[in-house]
Amino acid sequence: MYMTDFIQAAAGAIISGLELALLIRVLLSWIPHNHYQPVIQILYQITDPILKPFQNLIPANRFGIDFSPILAFLALGVIRQIIFRLF
């Protein structure tokens, strides 16, 4: 395995994991859950650094809809494409 293959595989796995964490967080936002549960806290610790910049850029609208996950998914897709084109 070449080093570039390893970098692509590792970056792809990390980005896929972040996308999965974001998806779980989005789904959890639709149902009541305990924010103090340790697994939920870990999920928020993983996804908050990704979502906060977009939440600051575009705050939730007056209906409470948060578009930051959509922007985060787009950004992760762009990062994935950049990494795969560089290596």
Comparing 43 with 2, the larger pLDDT belongs to 43
pLDDT tens for each residue of 7-63: 899 999 999 999 999 999 999 999 999 999 999 999 999 999 999 999 999 887 777
Mean pLDDT of the chain: 92
Residue 2 pLDDT exceeds 90: no
pTM above 0.85, yes or no: yes
- Burial class, 47, CB count within 10 angstroms (exposed 0-12 / middle 13-18 / buried 19+): buried
Which contacts of 1-4 are long-range, i.e. CB under 8 A and separated by 24 or more positions? 4/87
- Burial class, 28, CB count within 10 angstroms (exposed 0-12 / middle 13-18 / buried 19+): middle
Contact in structure between 8 and 81 (CB atoms under 8 Å) = no
pLDDT computed for residue 1 by the predictor: 61
**Residue whose entry in the numeric block shows the structure tokens 């697994």:** 39
